[in-house]
Structure 1
Amino acid sequence: MIRDILVNLAQGVETDVACDYAASLAASFGAHLTGLSVAYEIDVPPFYMGALPTDFIDAQVLENQAAAEKAAARFSAAAAAAGLSHEVRSLSASLGVAANSFAELARLYDLTVVAQPDPDKPGPEEVISETVLMESGRAVLIVPYVQTKPFTAERVVVAWDGSRPAARALAEALPLLHRTKVVEIFRVVTHADDEDTAGTEVARHLSRHGLSATVRKLPVASGESVASAILNEVSDQGADLVVMGGYNHSRLREMIVGGVTREILNTMTVPVLMAH
């Protein structure tokens, strides 16, 4: 069961989609919700220190502290209004230190919720989300920056590639899958006529947990986008959630040449539960 949820609190936004979604998730499971609010310190390279006035740095520090306090207050008000058991944890650190600290903290929570980076509003979300995914050892639920609906998981697509990250994601998603009406095991295959029993085996495993799942295979030609195939299936099925492994290849390789995880993180339209 999901009893303990952690969420990274956004700053400088009108609506904190991760916070709102995490609150609805916590309410659904009767879970305790913890929000982490970070007052980001200015990480200035030594050779730039002399070029920045001290009063500018001090003003920026105060501004960041005020933003963190505002995010914490907004979280507390929303959690209290929803009748949730909740707490705020505060941290003052540079982005790199904060991301690593958040990942360490996430190891002792059932589920961690973060927001998808908004390309039109650069912020710390990309570093935070990728670090917690890679370093926490737990599943991470990433919420699209355009998300408006509260938590629901009536229709779920499990993107199964047989990898270790996919296996971890499936295992950690089980409490969510028990809230579903429809579970689809989605397999991307190279040729439609290839013998492929992996999806059937996943469905067999889920049946032992009292879950019924259908299996769908989609042949994708070499060079075609697997991420697009997954997202198209999500759209066609009207899915509420995707479950998949993250960074089966190295993160550096995906940053340089692209990859399924990177493309999903950039173009996702529904919440995605990932594990590495």
Structure 2
Amino acid sequence: MKTQLFVPLVTHPDANADGLAGQVAAIAAGMDAGIHALAINVSIPNVSTALSKLLLNTPDLIRQAEAESRRRGEHLLDLLRENAHKAAAEFDAQTIAVALPLLAETAAQQARYYDFSLVGLDAGNQTARATAEAVVFGSGRPALLVPETTKPSAFDNIAIAWDGSRVAARALADARPFLERASAVSVITVVDEKPLKNAGDEERLAAALRQRGVNATASTVKAQGRPIAEALQQEALQRGCQLLVMGGYGHSRLRDFVLGGATEGVLNNLVMPVLLSH
């Protein structure tokens, strides 16, 4: 059964960068996956008053915003189609228009029908940030977060952030298609960020992976005051890893959704591809 990769494209108010197309095609080719891209355009209800029509010309502004959203969505789909063809990856596309408050939730709902989601995420793109969070915690599927401006590369060397938790184990299981293709895997445990139940868990996981034929090694790292997401990504990059696998922490508190420190750090400052699984 062929792996299916879902790519939600944000178009308003912040749109994905053009560089995402090359990333998607390279990753899909490396996974031998099909690509399903969804351009999520904005639909803005006209709630203008007579005064707003007179002073701001609100209907025209709405039409301009919707037209720009559609234009950007079509442009991104064209780029993806072109790059998928070059990579010999199966590709299909869809366009949908939804109200602004429903953009992220729509992406999460659509992602439930595919094996993985790939979300392009760059600093300052709050639309992509909200979409990534919704997909990670609302889709029930693993999400691959990719900085849009980095060069595409094969995931030949992979890092696993390991603390022995349920979400870390979930991420490990979801990462299996990547681990099976990797030539090297590094299990990384941060030892000075929170109490760990069992010392040496990173070596235990590495040994279990080696029994399955994975070339895995284990190491510990100290955050030394750095944000946990920064420490993990820096350690992974220093080891030459192209992908970091980690569990996504989050829970509801009253009406707010509270993210774990590492998860929030990755969403706020993504410097390498990260597979997040909740």
Quickly name the TM-score band, shorter chain normalised: 0.7 to 0.9
Residue 2 of structure 1 deviates from its aligned partner by: 5.9
Residue 14 of structure 1 deviates from its aligned partner by: 8.8
Separation (CA, whole Å) in 1 of partners of 2:201 and 2:271: 26
Alignment of 1:164-183 (within 5 A): 164-183=166-185
Alignment of 1:225-236 (within 5 A): 225-236=227-238
**Matching residue's letter, 2:261:** G
Any idea what the Cα deviations from partners look like across 1:74-116, whole Å, max 9, x if unmatched? 2222222333211001110023323222212211211110111
**Matching residue's letter, 1:156:** I
Determine whether 1:240 maps to 2:242. yes
Aligned length: 266
- Structure 1: stretches of 5+ with no match in the other structure: none
Determine whether 1:126 maps to 2:119. no
Q: Is the 8 A contact 1:38 1:90 kept in 2?
A: yes
**Matching residue's letter, 1:59:** Q
The answer for the alignment partner of 2:71 in structure 1 is 66
Separation (CA, whole Å) in 2 of partners of 1:14 and 1:94: 18
Where 1:180 maps in the other structure, the secondary structure is coil
The answer for the alignment partner of 2:111 in structure 1 is 106
Residue 268 of structure 1 deviates from its aligned partner by: 2.5
Residue 208 of structure 1 deviates from its aligned partner by: 4.0
Where 2:7 maps in the other structure, the secondary structure is strand
Separation (CA, whole Å) in 2 of partners of 1:95 and 1:208: 49
Residue 47 of structure 1 deviates from its aligned partner by: 8.3
Alignment of 1:79-118 (within 5 A): 79-118=84-123
Separation (CA, whole Å) in 2 of partners of 1:264 and 1:59: 34
Separation (CA, whole Å) in 2 of partners of 1:9 and 1:21: 13
The percent of aligned pairs where both chains have the same amino acid is 30
Q: 1:49 to 1:18 in 2, by over 3 A?
A: farther
Separation (CA, whole Å) in 1 of partners of 2:208 and 2:181: 17
- Structure 2: stretches of 5+ with no match in the other structure: none
Separation (CA, whole Å) in 2 of partners of 1:7 and 1:160: 27
Separation (CA, whole Å) in 2 of partners of 1:247 and 1:43: 35
Where 2:175 maps in the other structure, the secondary structure is helix
Q: 1:101 to 1:206 in 2, by over 3 A?
A: same
Residue 227 of structure 1 deviates from its aligned partner by: 2.1
Q: 1:169 to 1:58 in 2, by over 3 A?
A: same
The answer for the alignment partner of 2:154 in structure 1 is 152
The answer for the alignment partner of 1:263 in structure 2 is 265
Q: Is the 8 A contact 2:104 2:131 kept in 1?
A: yes
The two structures have a TM-score, normalised by structure 2, of 0.84
> RMSD between aligned alpha carbons?
2.7
Q: Is the 8 A contact 1:246 1:274 kept in 2?
A: yes
Q: 1:14 to 1:183 in 2, by over 3 A?
A: closer
Where 2:257 maps in the other structure, the secondary structure is helix
Determine whether 1:210 maps to 2:213. yes
**Matching residue's letter, 1:109:** Y
Residue 267 of structure 1 deviates from its aligned partner by: 2.3
Residue 207 of structure 1 deviates from its aligned partner by: 2.9
Residue 60 of structure 1 deviates from its aligned partner by: 2.1
**Matching residue's letter, 1:7:** V
The answer for the alignment partner of 1:7 in structure 2 is 7
Q: 1:4 to 1:229 in 2, by over 3 A?
A: same
